[in-house]
Amino acid sequence: MNIFRILGDVSHLLAMIILLVKIWRSKSCAGISGKSQILFALVFTTRYLDLFTIFISVYNTVMKVIFLVCAYITVYMIYMKFHKTFDREHDSFRLEFLLVPVTGLSFLENHSFTPLEILWTFSIYLESVAILPQLFMISKTGEAETITTHYLFFLGLYRALYLANWIWRYHTENFYDQIAVVSGVVQTIFYCDFFYLYVTKVLKGKKLSLP
C-alpha cells in the first residue's frame, strides 16, 4: 500500500459521497446520468465477486462493501426515490455501444479464462468507459452544476492517482497488471478535456458551460 493508492481510494470514495450528498441535499438528480451510475454499480458487482472467494485485507473488504453500497444507493436515488427529477431525455447514450465491445474484449483478452477472471476483466474494461454517458449528457446540455464537476474531478483524480500507484508498484514491487494499466490510461484520457475545463473555469468560480 503506497500513498498514491490510499489517496486514489480516498478520492474515489469522496467522489461517490459528493454525488450522494448533492442528490440528497438538493432532493434532485438533475444533470446526473443514471446510465453511468448503473454501469458503475455493474462494475463493482462484477469486480467484487471475489469478496466471496478470497480474503485480502480488512481494508480491502470494507472498502469494497462501502463502494458497492454507495453505488446501489445512488442508483436507487436516481431511479426510485428522486426519479421525477431525473433528466431521462438527456441521458440518451446507447449502452449497448459500450456493453457489447467490452463484453467481447473481456472474453478475448484476460488473465485466465475462468468465470471470475472474465468478470473481473469485464469490470476493468467497463469502468474505463462507464463515465461516457455522463460526459455525453454534459456535452448535450452544455453545462454542469458545480458540485457535479467536483464529483467528476475526484473521480478522474482517483484514476490519475492509480496511474502513479502503478508506476510506484512497478519500481518497488516489480508488479504490473497490463489489463488494469492500459484500461486505467484510457480512462484517465477521457477526463483530460474535463480537467482542463475544471481548472480554467470551475476553480476560477465560473460555472462549467460549453460554448
Partner 1 sequence: QETTEGHDEL
Residue 124 exposure: Cα atoms within 13 Å on the Cβ side: 22
Smallest gap from Cβ 54 to partner 1, in A, equals: 5
Counting contacts by CB under 8 A, is residue 178 touching partner 1?
yes
**Cβ-based neighbours of 42, under 8 Å, separated by 6 or more:** 123, 126
Name the grid cell of 78: 436516481
For residue 102, the Cα-to-chain-centroid distance in whole angstroms is 15
Considering only 29, 35, 42, 67, the residue that binds partner 1 (CB under 8 A) is 67
Per-residue mark of binding to partner 1, 109-138 (x: CB under 8 A):
--xx----x--x------------------
By CB under 8 A, what part of segment 4-63 binds partner 1? 5, 9, 12, 47, 50, 54, 56-57, 60, 63
Q: Which of 176, 203, 207, 210 binds partner 1 (CB under 8 A)?
A: 176
**Residue 59 to residues 128, 146, 163, Cα–Cα distance (Å):** 24, 31, 20
Is there binding between residue 172 and partner 1 (CB under 8 A)? no
| Min CB(22)–partner 1 separation in Å | 22
Nearer to partner 1, 42 or 138 (CB): 42
User: Is residue 177 part of the contact set for partner 1 (CB under 8 A)?
Assistant: yes
Three-class secondary structure of residue 93 per DSSP:
coil
How many residues of this chain bind partner 1 (CB under 8 A)? 24
Sign of the torsion formed by the C-alpha atoms of 81, 66, 178 and 153: positive
Q: Buried b / exposed e across 97-113, counting CB within 10 Å, b at 16+?
A: ebeeebeebbeeebeee
Q: How far is the CB of 53 from partner 1 (least distance, A)?
A: 8
* 109 three-class SS: coil
33: helix, coil or strand?
coil
Instruction: Name the site residues for partner 1 (rule: CB under 8 A).
Output: 5, 9, 12, 47, 50, 54, 56-57, 60, 63-64, 67, 111-112, 117, 120, 162, 165, 174-178, 180
